[in-house]
Chains A and B, each alone.
Chain A
Amino acid sequence: MTAASSSPALRRRFRDNRAVRRFARNPLALLGLFMVLGLTVACFLGPHLLPFDELYIDLRARFAPPLTGAHIFGTDPLGRDIAARLFHAGQVSMTVGFLAMVISTVIGTVVGVVAGYRGGWTGTVLMRLVDAFLSFPSVFLLLTLAAFIKPSPMTITLIIAFTSWMEVARIVEAEVKSLREREFVMAARMLGLSNGWIMFREILPNVMGPIVVAATLTVARSILMEAYISFLGYGIQPPLPSWGNMLNGAQQYLAAAPWLAIVPGLAITIAVTGFNFIGDGLRDALDVRSHNG
C-alpha cells in the first residue's frame, strides 16, 4: 500500500474506531481536550504575539491592573507583564507535568508488569515498596526531596515522577496478575518465548488502556504537584516563571493586587480540569473498569 492511499484509509479507521467515537460523543471529554489544546496553543504561540518579554522589568508600570494598555492581565510588583509570564510559565509547568507523567508511567509500568507477572517474592517486595511510598503523604516526601536537591526544572520533574509512579504500578499489577493466567500467555510460554518478551510484548499491549487513562490523570496530578511545591518556594526557581511560583509572592499583595493570585490560579485550574476531563473520557471510551470510584 502506498502512503497516498493508506492515509485516507487510516483516517477512516480512526473515525470508525469505537473508542474514538465514544470519546467524541462525550461532551466533557471534548471540553477537556478543547481546554488543554487551547491552553497549549496560547502558551506556545502567545509569547510571540505579545509586545512584552516575560523578563522585561518596567518599574513605572508596577501593579498595573488587568486591561491597562497592552497588559491584558496586568503587571506584577516589578512591572513585568503577567500575560507574558503566564504563557511562559505555562510552557514550563505543562512540560514539567508531561515529562513527569512519561517518566512515572514508565517506572510504574515496569514495576507493575514485573510484580504482576513474577508474583511470589518479587511481587510481594515490589508491592510492599509501593505501599511504603503510598503511606508517605506525597507532598511531604516531594518537599523533602525538593529541599535537599538543587532545584532545576529537570530535578523537579524527576522528583515529581519519583513520587507519583505508585498508582500506575498498582493498576498495572492488578491487570497483569489476571492476564498472567490466560491462554495466550500459556501459549507464549509453551512456544518458549522469554519472560521479558511475554511481559512486554504479549501482556503489556493488553494493559495499554488502563495505562493511558492513568497517564492522563498523572499529567493533571503532576501539574498540580509542581504548582504546590513551587508555590511553597521549593519548585521551579525565579526568574524562570511557573504557574506555581507566580503565586508564590501573590499572598502578600492580595489586598492591593488580587489579579496576581487569580490569573495563574485560573490557568492551573483550567489545565488540571482539562486533563482530568480527558482522562475520565478516555476511561469511558476505552472501557476501563474503574478501580477507584
Chain B
Amino acid sequence: MARFLIGRLWQSIVLLLLVSLIGFMVLNLAPGGPLSQFALTPGMTKEALDRIAEQMGLNRPLPVQYLDWLWKLVQGDWGRSFRDNRPVLEVINSHLFATLLLMGASTFLSMLIGGWIGIRSAIRQGSAFDYAMTVACFVALSIPTFWVGLVAIFLFSLRLGWLPAGNMYTVGDGSFSDILVHLVMPACVLALVNVAIWARYMRTATLEVINQDFVRTARAKGLPPRRVLMKHIVGNALLPMITLAGMQLPTLLGGALVTETVFTWPGMGRLFLDSLGYNDYPVVMGLLMFSAILVLIGNLLADLLVAFVDPRIRLE
C-alpha cells in the first residue's frame, strides 16, 4: 500500500511538472508575454517597460524564470492577479465553492439517474427500454451543453417562469433554499452529458457481473431476485464506477466552465473566462494548474477508494 502510494505520488509529481511546463510555455508564448498588460497603459514608454521587466525578473533566461516561478508555486505563492492585485490562490479560493457545489450536485444527479438507467438497460438487455436509452445517451453526448442551457433558460425561465435564469442567489437573499432554486437548472444541464456516460458504463459493468458464477450461485440458493440484484450485481458493478468518477473529472470541469458561463454562475469557469478576457495571465495559469491538480487528486482518491472497497485488488 505504502509502495503504491509513493509510486503514484511520483507519477503525479512528474505529471504536474509536465503540466506546469506546458502552462509556463503557454504563458510566455502569449503575444507580448506577461508584460502585455502594462504595454497598454497610456503614456507607457519603452524605458518604463524595461524597468518593470527588470523588477519582475522577466529579463532573465527562461529556464531560470521557470525554476523561480516553480519554486514560488511550491511555496504557495502563485503570483498576483493583474486585475485587482489579489493573490491568485485567494482569487481561485473565492470561486471554488460555487464550482464544487455545481459539480457535486450534478455528479450526484447523474450517478443516480445514469446508474438506474444503466442497471435497468443491462437486466433487460435488448428490450425497447435498452434500445431507447442507448439512442438517448448518444444524443445526450452529442448535444452541446451550452445549447441545452440556452434552451432550458428559454423554456423554464422565460416561457414558464419556474426557475431563475442565472446567478447563484438573489441579491440580498442567499438563503439555502434560494441557492437551491438557482442550482436546479445548471446542475441538471451539466448532469445531462454525464448521465449518458454513467448509464453507458454502468450498463457495461452490470452486464459483465450479471453472467458470473457467483450471481448464478446466489440465484440457485433461492435468494429473492431483488436481493441478488441489489447486493450481488449492483454492488460489484459499482466498483469500476469509482474509477470512472475520477476519470470524468476533466470533462466535468470543462462542462462546468461552459455551464457557468451560460448561467452566470460565479465559479472557477466564469473566473477563467473573465481572466482570459482581461489577459490576466497569472489567474489563467493558476486555474490551469489548479484544475490539473484537482484532476490528479481526484484520480488518486478514486484509485485508493477502489483498493479500499474491493478486497480483490492489492495495490503494488
Contact = CB atoms under 8 A, between A and B. Distances in A.
Interface stretch (B67-75, B137-145, B305-313): B137-145
A220 B142 contact: yes
Contacts of A143: 257, 272-273, 276
Given A131-B15, A143-B273, A247 B150 contact: yes
B258 interface: yes
Nearest to A31: B135
Interface in B200-225: 200-201, 203-204
Given A134-B250, A138-B250, A147-B276, A251 B200 contact: no
Contact of B15 (A132, A140, A231, A262): A132
B59 to A, nearest CB: 21
Contact of B138 (A141, A250, A276): A276
B31 interface: yes
Contact of A269 (B139, B201, B251, B288): B139
A269 B292 contact: no
A131 B29 CA distance: 22
Contacts of B288: 136, 140-141, 144
Contact of A228 (B11, B144, B296): B144
A258 B155 CA distance: 10
Interface string A252-293: 001100100110010011001100110010000000001001
Nearest to B131: A28
A258 B255 CA distance: 23
Given A145-B26, A269-B147, A276 B158 contact: no
Contact of A137 (B15, B138, B203, B291): B291
A139 B258 contact: yes
A138 B254 contact: yes
B142 A269 contact: yes
A188 interface: no
B144 A261 contact: no
Contacts of A231: 144, 146, 258
Nearest to A271: B142
Contacts of A273: 138-139, 142-143
Contacts, number: 134
Interface residues of A, number: 45
A9 B273 CA distance: 57
Nearest to B32: A148
A194 interface: no
Nearest to A228: B258
B102 interface: no
Counting chain B CB atoms within 10 Å of each CB, the highest count among A129, A139, A228, A250 belongs to A139
A224 interface: yes
Main SS at interface, chain B: helix
B188 interface: no
A265 B151 contact: yes
Interface residues of chain A: helix, strand, loop or mixed (majority): helix
A208 interface: no
A128 interface: yes
A258 B144 contact: no
B142 A276 contact: yes
B106 interface: no
B250 A262 contact: no
A76 to B, nearest CB: 15
A136 B22 contact: yes
**Which one of A137, A138, A224, A227 has the highest number of Cβ atoms from chain B below 10 Å of its Cβ?**
A137
A135 B250 contact: yes
Given A145-B26, A251-B150, A265-B147, A137 B251 contact: yes
B29 A132 contact: no
Nearest to B20: A132
Interface in A109-157: 128-129, 131-141, 143-145, 147-148, 150
A251 B18 contact: no
A128 B17 CA distance: 11
B146 A247 contact: yes
A109 B208 CA distance: 30
Nearest to A268: B144
B191 interface: no
A37 interface: no
Interface string B141-184: 11110110011011000100000000000000000000000000
B284 interface: yes
B254 A144 contact: no
Given A136-B295, A265-B143, 20 more contacts: A28-B135, A128-B18, A133-B22, A135-B295, A136-B250, A136-B292, A137-B250, A137-B291, A139-B253, A140-B288, A224-B144, A250-B150, A255-B158, A261-B150, A269-B139, A269-B144, A272-B143, A273-B138, A273-B143, A276-B141
7 contacts: A140-B254, A148-B29, A250-B150, A261-B150, A268-B147, A269-B139, A276-B138
3 nearest A-B pairs in the assembled complex, by CB-CB distance: A265-B147, A139-B254, A132-B18
Interface of A: 28, 128-129, 131-141, 143-145, 147-148, 150, 220, 224, 227-228, 231-232, 234, 247, 250-251, 254-255, 258, 261-262, 265, 268-269, 272-273, 276-277, 280, 290, 293
